[in-house]
Chains A and B, each alone.
Chain A
Amino acid sequence: MFLSCQENIEYFRKRLNDNIDVLSKVLNKGNKSIAIIYIKSIINDQLLTDMILLPLTKNINEISVDYIKKNIITTASIEKIENSETADDEIIAGMLAGKVALFVDGEDSCILIDIEEVPIRMPTEPPTSAVLYGPRVGFTENAKKNISMLRKRLPTDKLVLKEFEIGKYTKTMVVLCYLKDIIKPEIVKDISKKLQNINIDGVIDTHYILSFLQKGQTSFFKQAGIAEKPDIVSAKMLEGRAAIIVEGSPVVLTIPFMIFEDIQNSNDYYTNPIYTSFIRIIRIMGILAAVISPGLYLSFRLFHHNILPLRFLITISNSTEGLPFTPFIELIFILILFQILYEVSLRLPRYLGLATSIVGALILGQTGVNAGLISPPGVIIIAMSIISIYIVPDETAQLTILRAIFLIIGGTIGILGIIGGMIYIINELATMQNYGTPYLTPYAPRTVKDLKDGVFMQPIYKMTTRPKSLIDKNEVKIKNERND
């Protein structure tokens, strides 16, 4: 920092590579000058005029940094930077964060005024967490807005927000949120330590952080909950979990994570518990259908036709007669075809989506069957499996891989291999602990109290305690009894 405004302008412009959006202005006040430097693309023009330029153009009794800070610029987001070894870096960081730097001739200090404005979208309902009834608002890419949404839902002094700056170049704001009365202190300690130890060039999205938080660097299974709505995150925090908000991402992580969380859905708590229980059973069946149905179908066709009912066997035989491929190749072919169509439909513009559906469903599917290249049962099984995967959208990646594995096992070893594979996977999940919480809780190990929010869900008034596997204090969450 220099004593002269002009030198400061030159120095800081140079530090910011003389970029086109780095602007400066000098206001002459008698024998002294006031200089402001800012990055135009990330500040609010209106605020710059109203809060800074207009007050500075008026008559000022005393031209000094302290006087301007106290009497002229009346905003809470203002801070004074004294000259020090790190002052220049602090000023640069401030300007990059949407602050205006103000210098006065002859003074080796400056003030930073926050008038940041970045383009943000309005909160909308996230596509993966749509509900029939219940809150629809979702997080946005702006961390501050996300925090405000969370604060609105948890207006308590027990809410703790710990900020971390991660990324050598991106300097991304990462916020660890939790309720200090509920959460296990070890979890906070563990997560904080891991966040502090992250040394990375840039954090573009929450998933960059996720890979550093999971135990075992090559873990196949998800180790953090993913939420895009404040109601879900606040409910999870009330159960004793921590949330991690990352600037630039509408996805918030919740930790610890148990696999059963993916069977639950926010809609479950806004409808009848009996219906919810039924739907949860359907979801589990959907997962099984998604993962093992192609493998199972293949194993029945290749190895165990003797245990199929005769009529069913005849129907399959008739429809698969004359196919040029073996059942194994046929299913692999259909699966790859569907997967390609899925990937294409994700990336195509919406107006082309219809064309893809026509090409996929009619031309490839129908014509393939008519041409005798693929069989109708094969198409049905794979289509059912592909659709079923989206019953648990957060586990799509894992289920897709598992389906392919079970398809290969079913086609090479048969049903014994499928059962062995299921046992192996469950055993793998049973070994996993997520920040001290067993991954298969509340079923293995069984935690009776937590079963109230299990497959057979109890009414909310009966869920009097927080999940026992998550907390070790402040267990009770509903104290009053229902008066019937």
Chain B
Amino acid sequence: MKEMISTRQTAFFCSIMLFASKLIILPSLLFKANGYGAILCLGFIFLTELLILYFFIKLKEKYNNNSLKEILSMYINKFFIKVVFIILFIFFIIKLDYVLQENFHYLKLALYDKATILVYLICIIPVINALVYKGLKAFGRSLEVFYYVIISGIVICSAIWISSLANFGFNIYENNGLIGFFNGVYNYSFWFCDFIFLFIIIDKIKIENNYGRKLMRYSIFSASVCFFIFFSFYYVYQSVSFFQSSALYDLIQFASRIGYVGKLDILALYPIMFIMFFQCAMFLYCSKECYKVILNTKNEVQPLFFINILAILLYYFFIQNPDNLLTYSTSLFNHLGVIVEYLLPLLLFIFFVFNKNKEQNLVYKKKIIKNYKI
């Protein structure tokens, strides 16, 4: 029997994945690309992401219990299905490494002076593997327990910044024009693609009351909070925003004393750490699912073992250096990001809209087979 997660848990996943890896280095990178216009880039990307989510909701309603592989098999042959899953596998495994590296860099800066990557990985890898190994159901339930703990941290941070927004400014006209806008959207696309994981777990989501509305509501909430954090960051740091590499932490340090409460740095640190665990686990889970489709296996341990080795090797040889992280992401992986974020949903959308006959034939075929079995 498939392990199903509730609509609420899915909505939590959407919400958390939307925050993921946007609250650290991305604000300053986007500012570098398009000045204050970065906020427009963010708005545009979020709108596209929400459109993709809307499309996903419709897709799920139509193919309730079908997996991505089954949906694709209605339209394309096995070879192309494998190609799609190989691209997704590469995407998720690189994403996993990126999140690990970005967070390591962040935590080293904010929390650990002398932390080595080995200690860091020893701490993270067993936990994310346990989350994935125990199955999506337990994973979803774990997030359900921590969701409000994470969100409350971010919301309190946002509330604190409101009090420190008085004396600064935000000039939307200081941007790099249309080219800057497209640079921002295209070059940093790898930091987004937040809802692609949904396509991997499409068959494991239960459709419950207000399914679509719930998913949209939580995602819009996260997008709004994220948008607000970007806005506050640019508002506070203005033209030197590009210089600050840990948005959330920099912001809380800026407004570190409120009344007599004292330093609140921990508020900006713990949500990021929680998010990192869940985000890495989700990428690991998705890469495991892709691996299973590519190699047509049902084994759970073997893919995890292989992915862990691959991720560590990839990390060690390519991503360990923070400079490589930026270079690769803006010159190589951004293309991958665009392919995965836009082309895959677009491909599915085309099938969804223009290829109804084939799909109806398949449904008809399935019905015949079912009747025959009975």
| Contact pattern, B 137-149, Cβ under 8 Å of A = 1, otherwise 0 | 1110110111000
Q: Does A427 contact B (CB under 8 A)?
A: yes
Which residue, B139, B145, B273, B274, has most C-beta atoms of chain A within 10 A? B145
In the assembled complex, the CB of B106 is this many whole angstroms from the nearest CB of chain A, namely 11
Known: A415-B111, A423-B146; 16 extra A-B contacts, CB below 8 A, are A303-B111, A303-B112, A307-B269, A308-B263, A310-B263, A413-B119, A413-B122, A414-B115, A416-B124, A423-B278, A427-B138, A427-B139, A428-B134, A430-B145, A443-B144, A444-B141
C-alpha gap A416/B266 in the complex (Å): 12
Main secondary structure of the interface of B (DSSP, over half): helix
**Which chain B residues lie closer than 8 Å to A438 at the CB level?**
141
Q: Is B334 an interface residue (CB 8 A)?
A: no
Verify B277–A414 contact, CB threshold 8 A: no
Whether A427 pairs with B142 at a CB distance below 8 angstroms is yes
Which residues of A420-470 are within 8 A (CB) of B?
420-424, 426-428, 430-431, 438, 440, 443-446
- Indicate which residue in B111, B139, B141, B142 contacts A307 across the interface (CB closer than 8 Å): B111
Q: Do B144 and A446 touch across chains, with their CB atoms under 8 A apart? A: yes
Closest 7 CB pairs of A and B: A430-B141, A444-B141, A444-B144, A430-B138, A307-B265, A309-B262, A431-B138
Q: Is the CB of B141 within 8 A of A420?
A: no
Give the contacting residue for A419; candidates B115, B134, B138, B274; CB below 8 A: B274
In the assembled complex, which residues on chain A have CB atoms less than 8 Å from the CB atom of B126?
A: 420, 424
Whether B142 lies near A423 (C-beta < 8 A) is yes
Q: Which residues of B contact A310 (CB under 8 A)?
A: 263
Known contacts A309-B262, A309-B263; is A420 also within 8 Å of B145 by CB?
Answer: no
Within 8 A of A (CB), among B1-42: 6, 8-9
The reply to whether B134 and A431 contact each other, CB–CB distance below 8 Å, is yes
Is B135 engaged at the interface, CB distance under 8 Å to the other chain? yes
Task: Answer yes or no: A417 CB below 8 A from chain B CBs.
Answer: yes
Whole-angstrom CA separation of A216 from B295 in the bound complex: 32
Q: Considering only CB atoms, which chain A residue lies closest to B125 in the complex?
A: A420
A304 lies within 8 A of chain B by Cβ: yes
Q: Which chain B residues border A446 with CB–CB below 8 Å?
A: 6, 8, 144
Complex CA gap A307/B119 in Å reads 20
Q: A304-B111, A309-B262, A423-B131 are in contact. Are A416 and B273 (CB under 8 A)?
A: yes
Query: Could you tell me which residues of chain A, from 384 to 435, have a CB within 8 Å of some CB in chain B?
Result: 413-417, 419-424, 426-428, 430-431
| Contacts A/B (CB < 8 Å), 22 sampled | A303-B111, A303-B112, A304-B112, A306-B111, A306-B113, A307-B265, A414-B115, A415-B269, A416-B123, A419-B270, A420-B124, A423-B274, A424-B126, A426-B145, A427-B130, A427-B142, A430-B142, A430-B145, A431-B134, A445-B9, A446-B6, A446-B8
Is B200 on the interface with A (CB-CB < 8 A)? no
Residues of B within 8 A of A312 (CB): 262
Asked, given contacts A420-B277, A444-B145, A445-B144, whether A427 binds B134 with beta carbons under 8 Å apart, the answer is yes
Using a Cβ–Cβ cut-off of 8 Å, how many residues does chain A contribute to the interface with B? 30
Residues of B within 8 A of A430 (CB): 134, 137-139, 141-142, 145
By beta carbon, the residue of chain B nearest A432 is: B138
In the complex, the chain A residue whose C-beta lies closest to that of B112 is A303
A266 to B262 Cα, complex, angstroms? 39
Residues of B within 8 Å of A, CB-based: how many? Answer: 38
B351 is an interface residue with CB less than 8 A from chain A: no
Question: Which of A304, A421, A443 is the one whose CB lies under 8 Å from B145?
Answer: A443
CB distance from B272 to the nearest CB of A (A): 10
Q: Which residues of A contact B197 (CB under 8 A)?
A: none
Q: CB distance A416 to B107 under 8 Å?
A: yes
Q: Is the CB–CB distance between A307 and B123 below 8 Å?
A: no
Interface residues of A in 288-324 (CB under 8 A from B): 303-304, 306-310, 312
Which interface residue of A424, A428, A430 has the most chain B CB atoms within 10 A?
A430
A residues touching B (Cβ–Cβ < 8 Å)?
303-304, 306-310, 312, 413-417, 419-424, 426-428, 430-431, 438, 440, 443-446
Contact of B273 among A415, A424, A427 (CB under 8 A): A415
* Shortest distance between the CB of A193 and any CB in chain B (Å): 23
Cβ of A169 to closest chain B Cβ, rounded Å? 41
Question: Contacts of A423 on B, CB cut-off 8 Å?
Answer: 127, 131, 142, 146, 274, 277-278
Contacts of A413 in B (CB 8 A): 119, 122-123
- Interface residues in B299-316 (C-beta closer than 8 Å to A): none
Nearest Cβ on chain B to A138's Cβ, whole angstroms: 34
Q: Output the least CB separation between B374 and chain A (Å).
A: 28
* Cα-based distance from A303 to B134 in the complex (angstroms): 31
Chain B residue numbers with a CB within 8 Å of A417 are 123
Which residues of B225-279 have CB atoms within 8 Å of chain A's CB atoms? 262-263, 265-266, 269-270, 273-274, 277-278
B117 CB, nearest partner CB in chain A, Å: 13
Task: Determine the residue in chain A with the shortest Cβ distance to B252.
Answer: A307
Q: Are B274 and A445 in contact (CB under 8 A)?
A: no
Cα–Cα, bound, A421→B146 (Å): 13
Chain A residues near B170: list those with CB within 8 A.
none
- Chain B nearest CB from A52 CB (Å) reads 62
Closest-by-CB residue of A relative to B277 is A423
A416 near B141 (CB under 8 angstroms)? Answer: no
Contacts of A424 in B (CB 8 A): 126-127, 130
Is B199 positioned at the interface, with any CB of A under 8 Å from its CB? no
A400 to B110, CA, bound (A): 31
Chain B residues with Cβ below 8 Å from A308 are 263
**Is B120 an interface residue when CB atoms closer than 8 A count as contact?**
yes
> How far is A420 from B146 in the complex, measured between Cα atoms in Å?
12
